[in-house]
Structure 1
Amino acid sequence: MQDREKKEEHREKNIGQEGRNGQEGRNGLERRTGLETDRQEDREEKLWREAFYQELDAVKRQQMLKEREEVRNIGENADRTTAEIRFMEKLWIARYGKRRPKKDAFVGSLMELKYIAEGGSVDLGGQKRKLAIEIITKLCLFDAEKRNVWEQELLLQELKNAFLKLIDVSRKGRGFTSIVFGMGQLSEESVAKKIADQISMIAFAAPHMLHMDKEFELLQKAALAAFRQEYPQREHFLKK
């Protein structure tokens, strides 16, 4: 009798243990599946962002943002990057305007900084500094250091994209790449030097001249990142 009771008790323990093992196995599988899903979404997000920040066409970038927002709204992790997408849209509007893109305000601001640098250090009535403050506002750089980490990173990438656009436009401009009056073409090395001079004036000479390096620190990082991407062996051309 006692032997039967012991056997029955042992069998129940085994059944209970098997049940627990099975549940733990299912829980482990669910956790692994969840991790794999998160990793896949992270990979997709990374690839999408790389493509977005390499795209130079404003309309295509707008469409990419719209499509990404729709994907995020129906996904399991819809709330995870909603704030980031919203901030990216905010930067797009600041750069191109609402609805259909008009002029590129970011690239325009870069050219205004070039104008400041070309004008020399004399600043009658503080007009250059006033213009620089307007540029800081247009480039969303005001109090940039107080933004959270991911906002700073997204702004950095948007500014880098603006420099990539400037480089692209310059390289395609016949007047920029020709030797004189549209006659003859500069070598690739000479074009790289000319672009480096232009970026040096925008990102370094103008802020140095106005003693505003802190305010333009993020812009300087973006300029370096863009130039390094396009001319990885030519950073020494830059005048920092």
Structure 2
Amino acid sequence: MQDIWIESFYNEIDAEKRQAFLKEHTGDPKDELDAFREKLWIARYGKRKPKNDAFVGYLMQMKYIAEGGGMSLGAQKRKQAAEVLTGLFLGNYDNLDIEKQEMIFYEIKNAFLKLIGVSKNGRGFTSVVFGMGQLSDESVAKKIADQVSTIAFATPHMLHMDKEFAVFQQAALEAFRQEFPNREHFLKK
């Protein structure tokens, strides 16, 4: 990532601020990378004002695949995981230019940063019992590590799809390291 704005763009988790960065620094429809960045944006947030985050939705889908007991472990869950791969642009990742691969990686990392940020700042996630008392920073880090471990590592491993989710796992690992330096040992890889 050469430009400073790109680093700021991928570290910002507020969708509207990210959209402002994007509008300010891109927009040439003839530029292949700008066009691809726009394609990623539309896939994640839609064409209008960003409301829902499809990439965070895919992260939650991975959690539900691991925790859902109603379905058979086989084909249906693998099909759902394949949908996640496609939605996150990982289905043909190896066939893309290095710049596009980097954009996908940082967009997925940003989705993990968003998930971690929402969890870290959510009262329901960080409170002990019925909002009474707060978990320590160490306990919050462990709880988020469990969540990230389930989404990024346990689910692909359970489905024997670690190879297909390797980029996804690396993005999760970097996001966790960024938010919780020196606490990587909490992750169950």
Partner of 1:126: 75
Deviation at 1:119, TM superposition (A): 3.0
Change (3 A) 1:145 1:120: farther
| 2:149 counterpart (160, 178, 200) | 200
Query: Does 2:107 match 1:158?
Result: yes
Greater C-alpha radius of gyration: 1
Q: Which runs of 5+ in 1 are unaligned?
A: 1-41, 74-78
Q: Which amino acid aligns with 2:19?
A: Q
1:109-188 matches, cutoff 5 A: 109-119=58-68, 123=72, 126-188=75-137
Q: Which runs of 5+ in 2 are unaligned?
A: none
Partner of 1:238: 187
Q: Which amino acid aligns with 1:132?
A: A
Q: Which amino acid aligns with 2:32?
A: A
Change (3 A) 1:185 1:234: same
Residues 65 and 85 in structure 1, CA contact (< 8 A), matched pair in contact too: no
Deviation at 1:125, TM superposition (A): 6.2
Identity, % of aligned pairs?
64
1:86-105 matches, cutoff 5 A: 86-105=35-54
Q: What is the rounded CA distance, in whole Å, between the counterparts of 2:51 and 2:16 in structure 1?
A: 10
TM-score (normalised: structure 1)? 0.74
Residues 123 and 129 in structure 1, CA contact (< 8 A), matched pair in contact too: no
Q: Deviations over 1:203-230 (max 9, x none)?
A: 0000001111111111101001101111
Which structure has the higher relative contact order (CA within 8 Å, separation 6+)? Answer: 2
TM-score (normalised: structure 2)? 0.93
Deviation at 1:121, TM superposition (A): 11
Q: Deviations over 1:176-215 (max 9, x none)?
A: 0011222210000000000000000000000001111111
Q: How many residues align?
A: 188
Q: Which amino acid aligns with 1:148?
A: D
Name the structure where helix makes up a greater proportion of residues.
Answer: 1
Q: Secondary structure at the match of 1:164?
A: helix
Residues 121 and 209 in structure 1, CA contact (< 8 A), matched pair in contact too: no
Deviation at 1:139, TM superposition (A): 1.2
